[in-house]
Amino acid sequence: MIRVALLVAGKDLRIEARSRVLASQVLPFGVMALVLAGLALGPARAGHSGAAPGLFYLVLLLVTLLAVGRSQSLERAAGTRASVATLGLDPAGVFLGKSAALALELVTMGLVLEALAVVMLHVALAGALVALPSVVVTLATLAAAGTLYGAIVGEGPVASTLLPVLALPAFAPLLIAGERAFSAALSRQAEARWWVITLVALAAYLAVGVLAYGVLEDS
Amino acid sequence: MSLAGPAPTGPVVALEGAVVAHGGFPLLAGVTLELAPGTLTILRGPNGAGKTSLLRLLGGLEPLSGGRGVVAGVDLAHGDRRLLRRKVGWVGHEGSFYDDLTAEENLRFAARALGRPGAAVGPALARVGLTARAATAARRLSAGQRRRLGVAWLLVRRAELWLLDEPYAALDDEGRELVGELLVEARAAGVTIVASAHEALAFDGDREVRLAGGRVVG
A168 burial class (0-12, 13-18, 19+ CB within 10 angstroms)?
middle
Predicted pLDDT at B1: 56
**Cross-chain Cβ contact B89/A87 below 8 Å:** no
Mean pLDDT value across chain B: 84
Percent of chain B with pLDDT over 70: 93
Predicted pLDDT at B175: 76
**Cross-chain Cβ contact A18/B101 below 8 Å:** yes
pLDDT digits (tens, 9 = 90+) for A88-137: 888 889 999 999 999 999 999 999 999 998 888 888 888 889 889 999 99
> Residue A18 carries which side chain, given as an amino acid letter?
R
- In degrees and rounded to multiples of 5, residue B44 shows phi and psi of -120, 160
CA distances from A156 to A178, B18, B35 (A): 32, 27, 34
> Residue B19 carries which side chain, given as an amino acid letter?
V
Q: Report the residue of chain A nearest B137, measured CA to CA.
A: A18
Enumerate the residues of chain B whose CB falls inside 8 A of the CB of residue A219: none
- Judge whether residue B44 has pLDDT over 60: yes
How many angstroms separate the CA atoms of A177 and A193, rounded? Answer: 9
How many angstroms separate the CA atoms of A37 and A51, rounded? Answer: 10
| Interior angle at CA A155, CA B167 and CA A108, nearest 5 | 110
How many angstroms separate the CA atoms of A81 and A28, rounded? Answer: 29
Predicted pLDDT at A59: 93
- In degrees and rounded to multiples of 5, residue A16 shows phi and psi of -65, -40
Mutate to test the interface with B, among A83, A216, A219 (most CBs of B within 10 A): A83
- Cβ-Cβ pairs closer than 8 A, A with B, add up to 76
> Residue A19 carries which side chain, given as an amino acid letter?
S
B98 to chain A, closest Cα gap in Å: 7
**Cross-chain Cβ contact A11/B101 below 8 Å:** yes
- Helices A125-153, A91-120: axis angle to 10 degrees equals 140
Question: Could you say which of B96, B101, B105 has the minimum Cβ distance to residue A83?
Answer: B96
How many angstroms separate the CA atoms of B161 and A89, rounded? Answer: 18
B65: nearest Cα among B214, B174, B217? B214
CA distances from B177 to B39, B83, B146 (A): 19, 32, 16
A8: nearest Cα among A102, A77, A76? A102
pLDDT digits (tens, 9 = 90+) for B65-109: 889 999 988 898 888 888 888 888 888 776 678 888 999 999 999
> Residue A94 carries which side chain, given as an amino acid letter?
V
Report chain B's terminal Cα–Cα distance, integer Å.
36
DSSP H or E segment with residue B42: strand B40-44
**Cross-chain Cβ contact B93/A79 below 8 Å:** yes
A4 at interface of B, judged by CB pairs closer than 8 A: yes
Q: Report the residue of chain B nearest A78, measured CA to CA.
A: B94
**Cross-chain Cβ contact A79/B86 below 8 Å:** no
CB B43 within 8 A of CB B20: no
The band of B7, judged by pLDDT with boundaries at 50, 70 and 90, is low
- Is residue A69 classed as helix, strand or coil in its secondary structure? helix
CA distances from A53 to A117, B83, B137 (A): 9, 48, 41
> Where do the domains of chain B lie, and which CATH numbers do they carry?
13-216 (3.40.50.300)
Enumerate the residues of chain A whose CB falls inside 8 A of the CB of residue B59: 82, 86
Predicted pLDDT at B189: 84
Mutate to test the interface with A, among B74, B82, B106 (most CBs of A within 10 A): B82
Predicted pLDDT at B108: 92
B157: nearest Cα among A119, A182, A87? A87
Predicted pLDDT at A45: 65
The band of B202, judged by pLDDT with boundaries at 50, 70 and 90, is low
Which residue blocks in chain A are alpha helix, DSSP H?
Answer: 2-19, 21, 27-41, 45-76, 80-85, 91-120, 125-153, 159-186, 192-218
> Residue B92 carries which side chain, given as an amino acid letter?
G
Q: How far is CA B25 from the centre of its chain?
A: 25
Q: Report the residue of chain B nearest A9, measured CA to CA.
A: B109
How many angstroms separate the CA atoms of B14 and B36, rounded? Answer: 9
pLDDT per position in chain A (219 positions), as tens? 888 999 999 999 999 999 898 989 999 999 999 988 888 877 666 556 788 889 999 999 999 999 998 998 888 776 777 778 788 888 889 999 999 999 999 999 999 999 998 888 888 888 889 889 999 999 999 999 999 998 888 777 777 788 888 889 989 999 988 888 888 888 877 777 888 888 999 999 999 989 988 777 776
How many angstroms separate the CA atoms of B125 and B120, rounded? Answer: 9
How many angstroms separate the CA atoms of B27 and A180, rounded? Answer: 53
ipTM of model: 0.79
